Amino acid sequence: MSGDHMITGQDWASYQPASPSTSGLSFAIIKATEGTSYTNPRMNGQAATARAAGLVVGFYHFLLPGNVQAQAEYFVKQAVSVEYDLLVCDWESSTHGSPTCAEKDQFLKAVQKLRGSNHRVLLYCNRDFWTNRDTTSFAADGLWIAEYNGSPGKPSIKAPWVIHQYTSTPVDTNVGNWASRAELRAWARKGAADDDGQEHEAAKPAPAPKPATYRVRAGDTLSGIASKYGTTVSKLAALNGIKDVDRIGVGQVLKLTGSPAAKPSTYKVRSGDTLSGIAAAHGTTVAKLAALNGIKNPDVIRVGQTLKIVK
């Protein structure tokens, strides 16, 4: 397939901004984790940016030697993936050493066992690793090969591949061996060609039940939580009575489903309160509160006074 019939994508890590440019892209593959303790602090924002632009989204794990099963479990838990996102093993050298071919295979098979029913699992490595360190040719559902040879879509390997990372300037950029974003999306959804040669989508497994609540962790954003659980910032804000969507607290328990938080019908004045502050907090006005409670001077309210909020 020539480069004219391929699509372009990028891979992002914490070096990229939380909202990278998506111009001209069909897919984005985002660093999620490394080892068993590192999570990309910009993953939530980057994933939300890619989804908002309609890109096919994937996540990768930077594999370290040892603790392979624990790394696979950490990866699938931390990645903010949704059904049919791509999941990738990044197999290369680091200051911690190089995972063996056996460890690479073990990680890919562990992720397939954990998430393979509704995710394509891929291997990323450079040409040297593929030709000199790989002994099994196992790349799960597809090989993503890195070779900066100046020829997008023409890596110098004989094995079948699905993505070619051809440059890191100014950001890691790839071509995907699909004619269109729609074709990649169909492949990611694990469609299979029947005897009639037509592409048919595989039977969709029953989605995991959506949890009713979520406890906010360090680094979370409301947009990231909304993206992970297939909802919107505005719905979460309404459900939980959140007035400033940029402010959520670690440990705060958010409702993901149910009815919007009911507005209280009364409010007991506390020390330091002002009528304008109470009005703002309850989505009303000073004039309405004053009229509703027979207040002649809105600058004078007393501690312990019970104010009616709605009629």
User: What pLDDT shows up at residue 200?
Assistant: 41
Q: Which two tokens stand for residue 142?
A: 């597809």
Cα three-residue angle 301-306-309, rounded to 5 degrees: 95
293 — alpha (psi -120 to 50), left (phi > 0) or beta? alpha
Q: Which two tokens stand for residue 305?
A: 């006074």
CA distance 125 to 86: 16
Q: What is the pTM of this model?
A: 0.63
CA distance 22 to 139: 28
* pLDDT band, very low/low/confident/very high, at 262 (cuts 50, 70, 90): low
87 contacts 115 by C-beta, under 8 angstroms? yes
User: What pLDDT shows up at residue 224?
Assistant: 87
Q: Is the pLDDT of residue 187 over 50?
A: yes
CA distance 58 to 283: 40
* pLDDT band, very low/low/confident/very high, at 240 (cuts 50, 70, 90): confident
User: What pLDDT shows up at residue 261?
Assistant: 59
283: how many CB neighbours lie within 10 A of its CB? 11
Using the structure block, give the residue that is written with the tokens 């390997």.
157
The CB-side HSE value for 132 (13 A sphere, CA atoms) comes to: 6
User: What pLDDT shows up at residue 103?
Assistant: 98
CA distance 242 to 252: 11
Residue 90 pairs with which residues in a beta bridge?
62, 124
CA distance 189 to 175: 19
Q: Is the dihedral of CA 68, 74, 77, 80 positive or negative?
A: negative
**Which range is least confidently modeled, 16-20, 185-189, 196-200?**
196-200
pLDDT, the chain, mean: 88
pLDDT tens, residue by residue, 97-144: 999 999 999 999 999 999 999 999 999 999 999 999 999 999 999 999
